[in-house]
Amino acid sequence: MKLKVILRKCLPAMMTSMATCLTLVGLVTANVSYAEKSKVKPPKIDQSVGQYAYLRDKLPDNAVAYLRVAQPVVHFFSAKNRTNDQALQHRESVKALESFRAVLSDQALLTAQLEKIGFSLDQYNQEMIHYIATWLYRDLNGPIEAMVIDKGHSISAMSQGLIIVPVAIDSVAKLNQILADNPINPALLQLDEQGFGTYEQASFYFDAEEQRLFVMVGVAPINWEAMQTQIAKLKHQREHEMYTFENQIDLTGQSNFLWFDLRNKAGVLSAPIGNMAVMELLQQVEGIALGEGTNEDAQGQMKIIVKGDMNTLLALDPKRKNDFNFETVEAPLGAVILPIPTQAMVEKALYTSFASQMPAYLVDEAVVADFQAEAKALYQNIQAKLSTDLGFDPMPLLNALGPTMTFYYDDLGPHAIIGLRDKKQFYQWLNTQKEAGLVQYDQKGKMHHLVMQNPLIPLLVDKISQDPKEDLTPLTFYPFINEYVANIYGVRALDLNWHFYWTEEGDYIRINRLPQMVMEEDRLGNEKFDKWLERSQGINPQELLFAGTMNIKNGDRNWYYNYLQFLQNSADVLGVEFDVNRMPRADQLDFAQSSRVGLQLSANDQFLYLSLDYGADPSTSIMSTLLFTGSSIFMSGILAGFLEQFPIYESLYYN
């Protein structure tokens, strides 16, 4: 009890001291730069729609974070360097948007239209809707950007934040009037003749000529001269670490984006949590970014990128080599690629499970060694338990198979490919199980045949033997149920035995339920799977850990006709003219015949990527624009769900 009391009283001070020490170490440690030149090519945006991002290419060297939140209306109706740009930039589409914005920003017109539809609002709600709509559809006309700067490249009390808000306002008087009309808090802020003002820890400056509002946030507000000095420092940067991430997420430089430099910040960020696993994770991560945008294939995507020592972080096999050099019958309709973990990866996950329960300040080399020993012992216990339950030891397969298994669907149906890390070990394991009478295995020519008893059958027999009368009906209809499920869904889950046939080619086996299926695919295959991944799905085969991807035909066409109906309905609701006949047909536009939709997780020595791809259809894009926080949680949820077996990530996610 005394030890607990001491720890409870001393822990906050110890954590603060540890964070301070690590921060000081970070300050004197030379930063290793990984800056790149920007590859961004901003799309052509109609100035009547909105303006470009301003801050993204002016980040100083001491910037440690950058945030860009796209203006929803501008983002949805603007070009994004995709195949549907020509529809968004069509003169009738641009003209319709101008008409919509005119009504939405006029309180009298908007109220009248709402009353025609049947909505009757009181004066307060009319003012609220008008104020929000005016900001959204008229005054705010570009992405809001923010950055955090710190002289020591850390996060401290001396850090400052700069926020830039682009507006369609050309005078200080107009901006003050808009601020005064705020129905929630009219006296929140007023600027002087120079466009300068302060509110609590924030300083404001409005540049009427540039039509931008600058907001500087720190421990205390600064004066006008200091504000001008800070703004004058914003110069175009040829190279920056942020570009390294933006180049891989959004080549338009206009969409939602967040970047955070994590170098030298492990102590500061992990101190509130005080967890060893979190500390180790942050020490190995140099930066993180998430966002949505257009990639080099003119496809839309939402993406998370983590930069760091991935070989250590994920316990990747340095000799890992994905072999996707097999053929399918025409291009696959879709594919799912799953990772097969090695023993080292499993032990790493078990180790982090122990580490996540230990406060960072109590960790030393002896503790780490103890955790590693406990992880190995737990692995052996799991191995023994599986051997008892299954009747054989499946764990050697972890090192023999992999690094991936692939399930795909082509013109001939579903197929499976399993990689082989160690072919010799795989067949040794098979022969060992055969000699023990656990499986039947033989080879005729190039065709291998494995027979395993269906593990569901003993469970079914055991259940029926306990109460035969009660289970007589399902037992009677068992053959019919089995065949019905097999014919409808193609799954023979209740067969007495499971038969597997395969042939070898390179470092993988092609496996299926019948030898004819395997031979047919071997003989008729004409499309290289790895080329399909790169060309059609935008996936680097050698970096891939997990993927679920498919092609959607006529995705652009379907979006376009829904977009025309959206314009038509908006015109009806707002009482403006829009002639849908003046818009072109889909076949007159250069739409892609198909687009990809999928989720992929990949990694190399330096980066971990989680990407949700959705082609040129901006429906996902607008959802992430309007609900940026929600989309971030959604992406984090996907990542957490995939990595929930690794307690280090689970602990960080929930904390």
Is 491 within a domain? no
- Per-residue pLDDT averaged across 545-573, rounded? 90
pLDDT score at 91: 93
Count of domains for the chain: 1
pLDDT higher than threshold 50 for residue 31: no
- Per-residue pLDDT averaged across 385-397, rounded? 75
What span, in angstroms and rounded, lies between the C-alpha atoms of 563 and 569? 10
Query: What does the DSSP assignment read for 37-102?
Result: E---------TTT----SSTT---TTEEEEEEE--HHHHHHS--SSTTHHHHTSHHHHHHHHHHHH
What span, in angstroms and rounded, lies between the C-alpha atoms of 356 and 650? 9
Cis previous bond, 403, omega within 30? yes
Is 353 within a domain? yes
- Per-residue pLDDT averaged across 505-526, rounded? 94
With bands split at pLDDT 50, 70 and 90, how would you rate the model's confidence at 551? confident
pLDDT score at 28: 35
pLDDT score at 447: 97
- Per-residue pLDDT averaged across 34-51, rounded? 86
Half-sphere exposure of 579 (CA within 13 A, CB side): 3
How many Cβ atoms sit within 10 Å of the Cβ of residue 44?
A: 9
Is 423 within a domain? yes
pLDDT score at 632: 42
pLDDT higher than threshold 70 for residue 17: no
Collapsing DSSP states into helix, strand and coil, what is residue 297?
Answer: coil
Residue 389 or 226, more confident: 226
pLDDT score at 499: 94
Proportion of the chain above pLDDT 90, given as a percent: 45
With bands split at pLDDT 50, 70 and 90, how would you rate the model's confidence at 30? very low
- Per-residue pLDDT averaged across 203-232, rounded? 92
Is 412 within a domain? yes
Q: Which long-range contacts (CB under 8 A, 24 or more apart) does 195-199 make?
A: 196/224, 196/227
Is 421 within a domain? yes
Between the CA of residue 223 and those of 55, 63, 195, 216, 324, what are the distances in Å? 21, 21, 12, 10, 61
pLDDT score at 349: 77
Per residue in 261-312, pLDDT (tens digit) is 988 776 566 555 555 556 667 778 899 999 999 999 888 999 999 999 888 8
With bands split at pLDDT 50, 70 and 90, how would you rate the model's confidence at 600? very high
Instruction: Give me the count of residues in the chain.
Output: 655
Per residue in 304-357, pLDDT (tens digit) is 999 998 888 887 777 778 889 999 999 999 999 999 988 787 877 777 776 666
Between the CA of residue 500 and those of 40, 336, 447, 638, what are the distances in Å? 50, 19, 10, 32
What span, in angstroms and rounded, lies between the C-alpha atoms of 575 and 250? 36
pLDDT score at 431: 93
Domain span at 416: 311-453+497-551
Between the CA of residue 169 and those of 139, 206, 548, what are the distances in Å? 6, 10, 46
What span, in angstroms and rounded, lies between the C-alpha atoms of 632 and 171? 36
**Terminal CA-to-CA distance of the chain, rounded, Å?**
27
Which residue has tokens 């790493």? 348
Is 329 within a domain? yes
Per residue in 431-475, pLDDT (tens digit) is 998 998 989 999 999 999 999 988 777 766 666 666 656 556 666
Mean per-residue pLDDT over the chain, rounded: 82
With bands split at pLDDT 50, 70 and 90, how would you rate the model's confidence at 487? confident
Highest mean pLDDT out of 209-223, 239-253, 399-413: 239-253
Is 240 within a domain? no
- Per-residue pLDDT averaged across 609-617, rounded? 84
Strand partners, 260: 65, 288
What span, in angstroms and rounded, lies between the C-alpha atoms of 246 and 293? 9
- Per-residue pLDDT averaged across 117-140, rounded? 84
- Per-residue pLDDT averaged across 634-638, rounded? 40
pLDDT score at 596: 85
Per residue in 140-191, pLDDT (tens digit) is 989 999 999 998 888 777 889 999 999 999 999 999 998 888 887 776 789 9
- Based on its alpha-carbon atoms, the radius of gyration of the chain, rounded to whole angstroms, reads 30
Per residue in 57-85, pLDDT (tens digit) is 999 999 999 999 999 888 888 889 998 89
pLDDT higher than threshold 50 for residue 652: no
- Residue 585 is classified by DSSP as P
For residue 71, what are the contacts with CB-CB under 8 A and spacing of at least 6? 50, 136, 140, 141, 142, 143, 144, 166
Is 346 within a domain? yes
pLDDT higher than threshold 50 for residue 631: no
